[in-house]
């Protein structure tokens, strides 16, 4: 099969889980009782946070540390963190909380670029990365749905946005394939920038949402999420 066709198919498989996660959240919101919803939502937030930390630790930063100088990776990593520090402050000032949605995109876009860039060089790695990205997107989009609901987005509008975003991975994977296949330094910079931003969002906005009064077990979801990242890394 032609590489471009394969990249399109696998990046679409990875991306469509954004829509599926949002659809699952909508079903959850519509049919589950509020008390159960609150409890499970805390679990999923923690699980998504664990996966995001694993993505930063195992996917977004290791290669960058390996190929960039200390000065370069320090400045790029901090640039990502401070960019989203100011963006988060701006969004909050406007009365919004969309940390989960921002973190999902910051994770999804650079990984899609990497997917396209590595596919020609390592076919098996490209396929495994596609499934890893897809599995990450499910809890992240599930949580992002409720983020956007707090900002008065209608369920229909959110699902339309998520459906469109599902195809975003194809676009960035093809960019990675066409323009960045042999530009490991640039890819490393993009991933490191995203890693800094994600790490800021996790500790500022996402992790605090996983805490639930008189319940200690939802935080275990973060352990399970991180474990998924470890398993995915081992497979990659």
What pLDDT does residue 89 have? Answer: 76
Report which of 208, 192, 196, 201 is spatially closest to residue 91, judged by C-alpha positions.
201
Give pLDDT, residue 36.
Answer: 54
Count the domains in the chain: 1
From first to last of the 236 residues of the chain, give the pLDDT tens digit.
567 888 889 899 989 999 998 998 888 888 765 655 567 777 877 887 888 888 888 877 887 888 889 999 899 999 989 988 887 777 666 555 566 677 777 778 887 888 888 776 677 777 777 887 888 788 888 888 888 888 888 999 999 999 998 998 899 889 888 887 777 788 788 888 888 888 887 887 667 666 767 676 777 888 888 888 788 777 76
Phi, psi (rounded to 5 degrees) for 69: -70, 165
- pLDDT for res 41: 74
Residue 178's contacts (CB-CB under 8 Å, 6 or more residues apart) are 116
Residue 37's pLDDT is what? 58
Provide the domain limits for residue 228.
3-235
Q: How far apart are the C-alpha atoms of 140 and 79, rounded to whole Å? A: 23
The predicted pLDDT at position 93 comes to 67
Q: Chain-centre distance of CA 201, in angstroms?
A: 11
Provide the pLDDT for residue 95: 55
Q: Which of 54, 47, 62, 36 has the alpha carbon at shortest distance from 100?
A: 47
Backbone phi, then psi, for 215, in 5-degree steps?
A: -135, 130
């Amino acid at each position: 099969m032609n590489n471009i066709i394969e990249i399109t198919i696998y990046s679409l498989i990875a991306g469509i889980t954004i829509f599926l996660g949002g659809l699952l959240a909508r079903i959850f919101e519509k049919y589950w009782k509020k008390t159960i919803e609150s409890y499970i939502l805390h679990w999923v937030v923690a699980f998504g946070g664990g996966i995001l930390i694993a993505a930063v630790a195992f996917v977004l930063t290791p290669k960058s540390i390996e190929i960039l100088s200390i000065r370069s990776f320090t400045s790029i990593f901090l640039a990502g963190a401070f960019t989203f520090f100011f963006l988060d402050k701006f969004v909050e000032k406007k009365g919004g909380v969309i940390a989960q949605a921002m973190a999902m995109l910051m994770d999804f876009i650079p990984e899609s670029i990497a997917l396209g860039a590595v596919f020609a060089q390592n076919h098996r790695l490209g396929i495994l990365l596609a499934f890893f990205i897809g599995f990450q997107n499910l809890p992240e989009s599930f949580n992002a749905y409720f983020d956007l609901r707090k900002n008065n987005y209608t369920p229909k509008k959110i699902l339309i946005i998520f459906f469109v975003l599902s195809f975003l991975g194809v676009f960035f994977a093809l960019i990675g394939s066409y323009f960045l296949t042999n530009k490991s330094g640039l890819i490393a910079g993009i991933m490191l920038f995203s890693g800094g931003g994600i790490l800021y969002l996790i500790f500022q906005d996402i992790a605090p949402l996983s805490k639930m009064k008189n319940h200690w077990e939802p935080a275990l979801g973060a352990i399970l999420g991180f474990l998924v990242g470890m398993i995915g890394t081992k497979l990659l």
